[in-house]
Chains A and B, each alone.
Chain A
Amino acid sequence: MPSAEEDLVPAARAVELTKTYGRGEAVVRALDDVTVAFERARFTAVMGPSGSGKSTLMHCLAGLDTPTSGQAFVGEKELGRLDDAGLTQLRRDRIGFVFQAFNLIPTLTAEENISLPADLAGAHLDRAWFDELVGSLGIADRLGHRPSELSGGQQQRVACARALISRPDLLFADEPTGNLDSSASAELLEFLRGSVDEHGQSVVMVTHDPHGASYADRVVFLADGRVVGDLQAPTTDAVLEQMKQLGS
């Protein structure tokens, strides 16, 4: 868990981040000179239409993709300076991921999936923390099952447990409720909210669902690779309103 001093350093930060694909005439600017900071112990949502660059921004901040220019920071670590081994270690120890789908290794049980980061690091699993996570996510009775034997909602919850088991500085969620029905979605979002409120977890969630965004403390809006809006303490209606304005 971050200490009092570290509270001042943003969980993640983009500085003049640019990402382009292609060359010459066919150049695509996925990210165009984006500068934004994501605060600690806050739930931030990133929204925007398709092609707005929201996923690209997250990929760059998580070390999954390299920007064409500019800098990306996780805490104080500048990702551009890290080699593959450094990035790998960062992902293992300091960042947690939840994707829209395919979060789990199909051949491992739920429990083995959750303890995977620790196994990869060769470190001991914090059993108490494991039990607490699993308990609050309500998946204690499904630990011995493989992903194919779990419902969509259960799979996403297992993914959350895995993402949080190493108490990362930051949890990235890319459309985590995209494949879930409304009740499973609500459960998941409640949990994320709870982790921020009770444990001071920093969460950045990419979403296109205004209702989901309403769980966040702040919403950053992207369009055409640029930050075009920033909303604090959002409600579903406020988010919808902002999106309508951006649409025009």
Chain B
Amino acid sequence: MARVTLKGMLARKLRLTLTALAIVVGVMFVAGTLILTDTLHRTFDGLVGTAYRNISFEIRGQTTLTGVGNASPNSTADRRPIPDTLVTVVRRLPGVGYAYGSVAGYAQFVARDGSAIGGAAHSNEGFSFDPNSQLSPLRLVRGGAPTGPGEVVMDRATATKYGFTVGDRVRVLLPGAPQTFRISGLVTFGDDGNLAGTTLAGFSLTTAQALFNSRGHYDSINVLAKPGTDQVALQRAIADVLPPGVEVVSGQTIANELYRAINNALSFLSTALLVFAFISLFVGAFTIANTFTITIGQRTRELALLRVVGAGRGQILRSVLAEAAITGLVASAIGLGLGVLAALGLKALLKGFGITLPSAPLVFEARTVVASIAVGVGVTLLSAVAPARRAVRIPPIAALAEHVEDTAQAHPQERLIGGGTALFIALIAIVKGVLKPAIGLVGLGALAGFIAAVLLLPLFAGPLAGGLGRPLANLTGAPGSIGLRNATRNPRRTAQTAAALMIGLMLVSTVAVLGASLSSSATQSIDSAVSADYVIGGSGRFSDSVFPTVARLPGVSAITAVLTGQFDFKGSLESLGAVSTPGLSQTVNLHVTKGRGAAALAAGELLVDTTTARSDHVHVGSVVPVTFAQTGSTTIRVGGIFKPNSSAGSYIVSARYFLAHFDHPLLDAVLVRTAPGTRHFGATLNRALAAYPNLTIDTRAQFEAAQQGSVNQLLGLVYVLLALAVLVALIGIVNTLMLSVFERTREIGLLRAVGMRRGQVRAMIRVEAVVVSLLGAVVGVVVGTALGAALASSLRNNGITTVSIPFASLIGFLVLSALLGLAAASWPARRAANLDVLAAIAVE
């Protein structure tokens, strides 16, 4: 039986190749994701290891916020600074070989052309340079350490890229006013040019304290134990001399905190990518199931003959499954190999959408191999189960010509009941979920609706395809009519082929509707909340000397500073926003529903939005316990409740209150309202802020456009990832068409003998392809749009305030699907048109 299986497979190489292609794409995606995340893991873990390999202990302020350290690794904003006199005390302890303070903060280099170097919030690290090469992970590779207040060391990668060298002068943006420094030396992080894309600016310890508003304090003290010292005893000794609120932890503890943070971030990334990979595989499963069903139908006589000659049911089953397993194995192996390419592609893709990942040689682990092969073979086998069972049911008597029957309508009853139930559940869940709103319910309903669509499609595929195809058929005449009839004569097969495309388009449409809704909601919320004329922002934070610079400009009617931070509200970690109160009504619209707005803020009270007030059970006048990382626990009175707005956040205090509870915070944005009649203020602003190239200066309209731009960027990324699934679906259509052409060799030969021209045969196949594609596309877009609208609507308390349906995009998808269907038909159409007429009719 093995020989029959293998020889059969070799004879059907082409068909199996197309089937395998679907698996190759899916496995490639899975492997690429795993390789990428493993590489990132090794890179980041390596960096952590390098940074902390020598430190025995770190002394740092304790944090009072729960949950800190899970999100941002070791953010200094979340811990109290420690007094710098502590280092003298620690140095006197026996067993301490070396102790040195450390301070870090915002420092961004300015290139020679005046533009800011680097971009994202955490990639501009300014810090104090530790001259002890044993302790510090930084290596001085050229020049010397920074000594005076005018010196800085730069990471070698940035120096090379931007043409700096030792002795050059460079401007640096800081929390205070920008300053110019002399480059005293170049450093590397461990063996790498820099710390994974972060630019590094190192200053002498006292200079750093001054620059980062940390006079008299350190962020932490790094300690190196004398060789041979009992670490445990030393840690206890150090702890004994520490004032309350300060802790000492081992270097390993810090490393572990970082490993955990890295893990979280990477698992988020890999999960997101794997979701898309599995979507591709899922669509691939449909293709495989379809192909196997058709092939087995075509091999009915051969399989029946085997049964006549004495093959048992089990042998037939094992043969079909073996074929699936072998196909899956070969495809997985190829996909695995291509996974390396996929990893590179994913990196480039993410970079194109603004997410730069550090470069490093790719890591290929055993787990990747095992997972990819398991997934590929598993999916193929699962898809082949139903067709295999059908193969087993072929009776031996089917070997005789009279008995060839297509057991087409397999359990229409079950399908109707199953699909009907799913549809019912879907409708109830979605309606309830939209009304409440509860996204969980809608999500469940979406899943049920999706299943219903897949189950019920064959039942109305016939008439629907007929309806869609009628205009096409009329256009192309007789060949078109025959092509249309071909598409509708086996509704189950047509539906199964179209289903793959339907799934892809359903997802794309849902994403499109969500994206459009997100985008217009963002615009709406900005329109609603912001009445300023100009919004000054930057990538991340910027210097606090910007505010006074702008405030002094002529034409400024009102100016508001915006800050954000984290705090603990009634036991949970939340995001807190702050605005300066003078002139607030001119720049910000807070639609206060209860209590007071600006007045409450000025009184040092808290504003909360209605959703939060309800879920946290607070009202005007409630006094709630809050905790800040650097000042500890206190209480605050809720002074007002406002309409939810995604731009404003859920919790607002005044800037003065904020500054009293956060040590050296930096601005997030500055809002400016100009006096009526002020002209060319934009130019004025640009000139005044020329010294800060890291800032973006937008009018309100430009700001809205920028937000939309971000949403669109993310949308674009998602579309590309989904495109892979759509590609797999199209491969399925090509596959089915090829098989169906083969099946109808005799019929096509007859048509040609009777007088149909080659071009007409091609038209016939093309019409069939376009009809099947449109069937999947139309149902997919309609269902996807409905689901997207329901999901968006259920998120109305989470920032998506309007449901926006991008009709242009959706129609574009439909047109694109039709065109892709046309493209998918080109090879099968050519095959059909070029059939040797005589040979075709002579086929038995």
Instruction: Point out residues on A near B: beta carbons under 8 Å.
Output: 59, 63-65, 84-85, 88-89, 91-93, 97, 99, 101-103, 105-108, 112, 116-117, 119-121, 162, 174
Contact = CB atoms under 8 A, between A and B. Distances in A.
Nearest to A102: B301
A60 to B, nearest CB: 10
A107 B4 contact: yes
Contacts of A92: 309-311
Contacts of B307: 88, 91
Contacts of A107: 4, 7-8, 10-11
Given A65-B397, A102-B301, A117 B309 contact: yes
Contacts of A97: 308-309
B1 A102 contact: no
Given A106-B11, A112-B3, A120-B315, A89 B308 contact: no
29 contacts: A63-B396, A64-B395, A64-B396, A64-B397, A65-B397, A84-B313, A85-B313, A88-B310, A88-B312, A91-B310, A91-B396, A92-B311, A93-B310, A97-B308, A101-B844, A102-B399, A105-B4, A108-B4, A112-B3, A116-B309, A117-B310, A119-B1, A119-B4, A120-B1, A120-B306, A120-B309, A120-B312, A162-B309, A174-B400
Contacts of B312: 84-85, 88-89, 120
Interface string B297-336: 0000110011111111101000000000000000000000
Contacts of B305: 102-103, 105
A99 B400 contact: yes
Interface in B209-223: none
Contact of A99 (B4, B395, B399): B399
A92 B305 CA distance: 11
Interface in B431-471: none
Contacts of A108: 3-4, 7
B401 interface: yes
Given A91-B309, A112-B7, A116-B4, 5 more contacts: A88-B307, A88-B310, A102-B399, A117-B310, A174-B400
B48 to A, nearest CB: 58
A96 to B, nearest CB: 9
Greatest chain B CB density within 10 A among A59, A85, A88, A91 is at: A88
A63 B307 CA distance: 11
A88 B309 CA distance: 8
A8 B308 CA distance: 27
Interface residues of B, number: 26
A112 B10 CA distance: 15
A65 B844 CA distance: 24
Nearest to B6: A107
A89 B309 CA distance: 9
Nearest to A91: B310
A88 B395 CA distance: 11
B397 A59 contact: yes
Contacts of B4: 105, 107-108, 116, 119
Contacts of B397: 59, 64-65
A174 B302 CA distance: 17
Contacts of A91: 307-310, 396
Contact of A64 (B1, B306, B308): B308
A64 B306 CA distance: 13
Contacts of B301: 102
Nearest to B314: A85
A35 to B, nearest CB: 23
Contacts of B7: 107-108, 112
B451 to A, nearest CB: 34
B6 to A, nearest CB: 9
A128 B11 CA distance: 31
Interface in B1-19: 1, 3-4, 7-8, 10-11
Contacts of A162: 309
B310 A120 contact: yes
Interface in B807-844: 844
Contacts of B309: 91-92, 97, 116-117, 120, 162
B658 to A, nearest CB: 78
A207 B21 CA distance: 49
A105 B310 contact: no
A101 B401 contact: yes
Nearest to A108: B7
Contacts of A116: 4, 306, 309
Contacts of A120: 1, 306, 309-312, 315
Contacts of A102: 301, 305, 399, 401, 844
The 4 closest A-B pairs by CB, nearest first: A92-B310, A107-B7, A107-B11, A64-B397
A106 B310 contact: no
Contact of A88 (B3, B302, B313): B313
A99 B399 CA distance: 9
Interface in B144-167: none
Nearest to B12: A107
Contacts of B401: 101-102
Contacts of B308: 64, 91, 97
Nearest to A97: B308
A205 to B, nearest CB: 16
A57 B541 CA distance: 91
Most chain A CB inside 10 Å of its own CB: which residue of B7, B11, B306:
B7
Which of B11, B396, B399, B401: most chain A CB closer than 10 A? B396
A59 B308 CA distance: 11
